[in-house]
Chain A
């Protein structure tokens, strides 16, 4: 098998890959020039559609289709917003991308802006990524100086400005409509959909919100063609994508894999196997929000949207969390429940009150006082939350719980028994 093609990570590891000079030496802004000088905006959208590129932020929505929802004849200004609020636990691919290859994101933004008739791009970066924003700002400055941003880009009559904007530390602002509210200076609450951002987004104008990796993939697609990209992956999930692997593997990190790549190979070849020669216990394959899968499932599954769906999980944001036999799934789920409770924006009832109650139940089981019937209560509360909330965050709370209870019931049972003992035999102080 030939060395897999690297699309978005091809400049990773090159010294000073974040500078414009090095970027230009490695196909930098070639795609932008091609798009501006030899393609019509509609051709760009067509090429992206052909590539079968699906959003890399989590939901996996086909990017070309999202772009085609933007009304062409709207008199309002249109906006490109890059969602760089990478806050999903276990996910850190966008950070690597922005650190190593900021210009590919800028180029992707500009091509998207050209395709959609926009003249303003915002890159909304999570507040904790202060240095990443500094790096992006430096790259944007360089791009402005050399005429890749701003007025009359590359001597054409296309003008576009690119700005970065820091978040203030709320997970919910990774949800695209909450992000838009936050960008407008409002509290980060998800909006009512419809209208979708493509029709009424930032400041009520048509807006495309795309993940960092999605946009950074666009230059390659424009340069090499949509078909070339799709052939890298499967028929429905085109191309390659970044995955960030963390947890109990020997070599955690960010890897680019073609879609449809076996998870087993990822764990054993790229990541060098499970630490200390331990046995694999569980994998969360797409960031903390997606259902957990067992070792058996992990070894048989392929990393593409369809086959991972068959084992009841999702590719999500590409954050692979690996847990070996030493992990306690009750404890790891408790940690996630705590996260989702802390990050619940408070807008809707099931998430606000449900996550709080859920966390209190897990907490009681963990510190002592857990009851057998608590497990049934957790299941019942999960049912009352799932599918009833305003945005997907509440589902993201429920899925890890229900999947882990289903797949690792013995860990929960052990937690209950431990909890009973704790109540009757308080730890010596």
Chain B
């Protein structure tokens, strides 16, 4: 569990055999390290001890009663019996009790085949059933759009309740009733939570299950592929369970990635877009004003021909190429090759965060999971990880809960995570620069007035931050300009001291940092979209949400003035409807590649299913176009060759090879940290503070659960399960049937 105890060891005997284990470890964990599994239900490696299932009892010398190995700490010379007739009898008896009221409906249970109760009953249970009394039936009921509860299968390990309380800090689940009538549930029968579904994945039985997987394929018939989630920048590792060409579930049950078992609602339930019936599945070329299916050869030749024509007639500058923060690094790299082949400097992507400013001034390493978990001070400014980066939020509350780290939050919004903060500074909108000026030692009165807080707030925040030895600064997107520069080099602004400061830009999209690394920010996105139809006559747009903003109509008019528009996407977006050629791209589940996450770590994307219809991966389509445009493309049909070219051209990626990712999982890119000029930062902050609108009123509306977490975005919109559950960032109300099916509180 923890690595700091491994230095000292002690010797215990297990059934007479001496075993060397780490001193101070829990017996069950110490034995696990030796490859000895003690059967258990309520023990879970990163939840507090429970000792309620009594399955892990062992005999310890000189103790009058059997002892739970999940709460016993090893002592030197301890003699433990784990395989005696007494213990085997005890396990048989305990399983008999658990199965007494269990419906024994394994053949129709979706957990069948990966159920801990089944496994343990098989290994340790009785062959015959002595229970001939009546069982207490309980109907299985939906308790949310995503989760259903088959209460009779429960063994009351309370893992779900602890996960909801401790991992998620939500506390939506509880025990209802008492004794043999106890059930897991919620007080009005409906889950009011983040719908992360982690309670389902930690359930050792078939009690809590995914509605999306109800009566789905048996788990052992699924092909499981470990890959990287395509939603937010946290980059959780997911296991896609597929059969044939269909993805059936997305889980993290083996707990190997940076997220261990953790997933959020989108990562777990947002896979529906992969097999959505609305995917574009074949190339479309416009003829006589209408889009018609075409072969890949025809479509690609048409694209190359028309791009070449425009470039020849109006100059290479008249062609623009857009990549995306959503597609793989390999995809963006190949898209950049198209721009090179044409010779246009007009290549960009729609950024979700001002990474060029951040990276220019970042004063240290990007904070990894290990940095967050081992920090003693965590400072979140201008962001809301609970809504936008759920894994980051999960990681940062862990050391806070354990009392190892103090959390400080400064935001103009009343973010939910403020409740876990040692101090929350409520800024006025745009008050970030002023606060940072105060932290940098500027006049407290001036800073506090512009920031909209008390001078003492800034003073105490400063001394708290300066007291940290391992500080993690999380810079949200509310920080802009001077505030962003200053926040990303906060370490240089604070008084000098012996401390390590790491930084995390709270970016949003799954491959934001990757897109920045591969495509750079040569030409600002706005200047390209602003010139469409004027100086730019042809556009090759890959995975770009051109018309998702408020200026959709203006963009539509500009796109209409283009000579040539080719859109490469998963769905018929509004821009695709205007295109001359639509190229159908594959989703992340249908291709290999890499994403770069919020910590600048590169992680592999693995192909889980064959491309849907005749779609192709972005890197393949783009490199084919580049070749047709006359570029020398070395990497025919091999994504690893694309990536190798990428690592050769980008030193940050030089060490992050596929081989290392295979053994290490996430490999952090190596980027030089900037050494910003402190006085320049302070003077920028001073002028930004002077320009702060001190009449702006504080936003007093608390952030609601799901306000942005439940926002769907393009791919979420096509995931039926999510779209059915959420609307405008809110959970939809329950239906009449669902209302009627809620479990009533029993009067026992």
Contacts and interface: CB of A to CB of B under 8 A. Distances in A.
Does chain A bind chain B? Answer: yes
A364 B131 CA distance: 12
Interface string A364-397: 1000000000000100010111011110000000
Given A349-B98, A350-B97, A357 B133 contact: yes
Given A353-B180, A357-B100, A390-B51, A192 B94 contact: no
Contacts of A361: 133
B101 interface: yes
Nearest to B94: A349
Q: Which of B71, B97, B133, B136 has the most CB of A within 10 A?
A: B97
A187 interface: yes
Contacts of A343: 179
B482 interface: no
Nearest to A360: B133
B55 interface: yes
Contacts, number: 92
A172 to B, nearest CB: 9
B51 A346 contact: no
A341 B180 contact: yes
Contacts of A364: 133
A185 B50 CA distance: 19
Interface in B125-148: 130-131, 133-134, 136
B53 A355 contact: no
B100 A356 contact: yes
Interface string B177-195: 1111110000000000000
Contacts of B94: 349-350, 384, 388
A347 interface: yes
Contact of B156 (A192, A342, A346): A346
B587 to A, nearest CB: 44
Interface residues of A, number: 31
A316 interface: no
A347 B53 CA distance: 8
Nearest to A373: B130
B556 interface: no
A210 B130 CA distance: 42
Contact of A353 (B90, B97, B134, B175): B97
B54 A353 contact: no
Interface string B108-140: 000000000000000000000011011010000
Contacts of B89: 384
Given A349-B98, A349-B155, A388 B175 contact: no
A174 interface: no
Given A384-B90, A388-B90, A344 B51 contact: no
A342 B98 CA distance: 18
Contacts of A345: 178-179
| Chain B contact residues, majority secondary structure | loop
Contacts of B97: 349-350, 352-354, 357, 384
Contacts of A388: 54, 57, 65-66, 90, 93-94
B344 to A, nearest CB: 66
B156 A349 contact: yes
Contacts of A385: 93
Interface in B76-120: 89-90, 93-94, 96-98, 100-101
Interface in A373-429: 377, 381, 383-385, 387-390
Q: Which of A187, A342, A349, A360 has the most CB of B within 10 A?
A: A349
A356 B96 CA distance: 13
A360 to B, nearest CB: 4
B156 A356 contact: no
A343 B180 CA distance: 10
Contacts of B178: 170, 344-346
B52 A348 contact: yes
Given A187-B175, A348-B54, A357 B90 contact: no
B711 to A, nearest CB: 36
Contact of B179 (A187, A346, A350, A384): A346
A344 B179 contact: yes
Contacts of A389: 54
Contacts of A360: 133-134
B183 to A, nearest CB: 10
A356 B179 contact: yes
A381 B155 CA distance: 18
Contacts of A381: 93
Contacts of B179: 341-346, 352, 355-356
Contacts of B54: 348-350, 388-390
A303 B509 CA distance: 75
A387 B100 contact: no
A170 B179 CA distance: 11
A265 to B, nearest CB: 34
11 contacts: A170-B178, A192-B50, A349-B98, A350-B94, A352-B97, A355-B180, A356-B179, A384-B93, A387-B66, A388-B65, A389-B54
Given A342-B748, A377-B130, 18 more contacts: A170-B178, A192-B49, A192-B50, A343-B179, A345-B178, A346-B181, A348-B54, A349-B155, A349-B156, A350-B97, A356-B179, A357-B97, A357-B133, A384-B90, A387-B66, A388-B94, A390-B51, A390-B54
